[in-house]
């Protein structure tokens, strides 16, 4: 039997947000490959082998998955959220692009998932209701100068922004540097939402004016949503506020 490889998104955290397409691929798989906590989300079953690894070996992980598929395995590479958004799809295609020709002969599919930024925006209201961009704040694979340039240009264009990987133990200062940039170029009342562990029992949402944001409000389980200059908050009695970006921009 010829092998295949699926690169699948497990969504932001809740099992309810894993798509039926991804569930079907996992039910057929002989092997699941991915970062340790993401592989742990896949239930054990007879006939399934899990291959969990650290989060800084993406290319090694991708090559291993391709090798197993080339040998006839039905392999699913898992990511959280969507596999094409700061996740494993690009790593697999980098390995495929430079790998043996036989890797290009079997079935390779990308199965989309609900991204953390979309789940966070929905939990808060509709922060990404108009034009927006997503920026990965990790400088592991790109220089900080480029991150700062993109932050400034995104603000100049008045995008709402979703920030991934804001603050890790290895980079505790990174989000503070990003906040310094944002606070230097944005109006102090611009709304910023911290969405931690969205769709899980640990979910916490906090929206504050940018002037009140501090680095400690974010960690690696947090997606940060910066509103545009038009983003508004609707206060509601005895309910959480709703944050949204209007569909129209004033002329």
CATH number of the domain within which 95 lies: 3.40.1010.10
* Domain tally, the chain: 2
Whether residue 55 is contained in a domain is answered as yes
Here the tokens at position 141 are 């694979």
Whether residue 57 is contained in a domain is answered as yes
Q: For residues 102 and 128, state if they share a domain.
A: no
Domain boundary among 114, 136, 162: 114
Whether residue 222 is contained in a domain is answered as yes
Q: For residues 228 and 192, state if they share a domain.
A: yes
Model confidence pLDDT, tens digit, residues 202-218? 999 999 999 999 999 99
Q: For residues 238 and 122, state if they share a domain.
A: yes
Q: For residues 82 and 174, state if they share a domain.
A: no
Q: For residues 77 and 12, state if they share a domain.
A: yes
Whether residue 234 is contained in a domain is answered as yes
Q: For residues 121 and 87, state if they share a domain.
A: no
Whether residue 179 is contained in a domain is answered as yes
Domain boundary among 114, 130, 146: 114
| CA 119 to chain CA centroid, nearest Å | 10
Report yes or no: 12 and 196 within 8 Å, Cβ to Cβ.
no
E strand spans, the chain:
4-9, 31-35, 49-53, 74-79, 107-111, 125-126, 132-136, 160-164, 191-196, 204-209, 222-226, 232-236, 239-244
**pLDDT digit of tens for each residue in the chain (251 aa)?**
589 999 999 999 999 999 999 999 999 999 999 999 999 999 999 999 999 998 788 999 999 999 999 999 999 999 999 999 999 999 999 999 999 999 999 999 999 999 999 999 999 999 999 999 999 999 988 999 999 999 999 999 999 999 999 987 777 788 999 999 999 999 999 999 999 999 999 999 999 999 999 999 999 899 999 999 999 999 999 999 999 999 988 87
Q: In angstroms, how far is the first alpha carbon of the chain from the final one?
A: 60
Q: For residues 96 and 138, state if they share a domain.
A: no
Model confidence pLDDT, tens digit, residues 78-97? 999 999 999 999 999 999 99
Whether residue 251 is contained in a domain is answered as no
Q: For residues 8 and 75, state if they share a domain.
A: yes
Whether residue 249 is contained in a domain is answered as no
Q: For residues 235 and 123, state if they share a domain.
A: yes
Q: For residues 18 and 79, state if they share a domain.
A: yes
Report yes or no: 224 and 193 within 8 Å, Cβ to Cβ.
yes
pLDDT at 1: 53
């Amino acid at each position: 039997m010829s092998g295949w490889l699926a690169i699948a998104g497990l969504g932001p955290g809740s099992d309810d947000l894993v798509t039926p397409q991804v569930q079907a691929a996992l039910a057929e798989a002989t092997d699941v490959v991915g970062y340790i906590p993401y592989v742990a989300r896949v239930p054990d079953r007879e006939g399934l082998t899990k291959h969990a690894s650290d989060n800084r070996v993406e290319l090694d992980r991708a090559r291993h998955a391709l090798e197993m598929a080339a040998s006839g395995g039905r392999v699913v590479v898992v990511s959280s959220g969507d596999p094409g958004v700061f996740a494993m799809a690009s790593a697999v295609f980098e390995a495929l692009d430079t790998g043996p020709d036989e890797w290009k002969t079997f079935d390779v599919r990308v199965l989309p998932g609900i991204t953390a930024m979309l789940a966070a925006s929905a939990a808060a209201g509709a922060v990404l209701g108009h034009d927006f961009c997503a920026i990965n704040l990790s400088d592991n694979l790109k220089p900080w100068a480029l991150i700062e340039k993109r932050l400034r240009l995104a603000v100049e264009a008045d995008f709402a922004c979703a920030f991934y990987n804001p603050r890790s133990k290895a980079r505790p200062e990174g989000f503070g540097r990003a906040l310094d940039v944002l606070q230097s170029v944005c109006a102090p009342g611009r709304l910023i939402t911290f969405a931690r562990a969205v769709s899980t029992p640990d979910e916490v949402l906090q929206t504050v004016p940018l002037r009140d944001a501090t680095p400690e409000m974010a960690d690696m389980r947090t997606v940060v949503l910066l509103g545009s200059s038009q983003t508004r908050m609707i206060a509601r009695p005895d309910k959480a506020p709703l944050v949204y970006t209007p569909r129209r921009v004033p002329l």
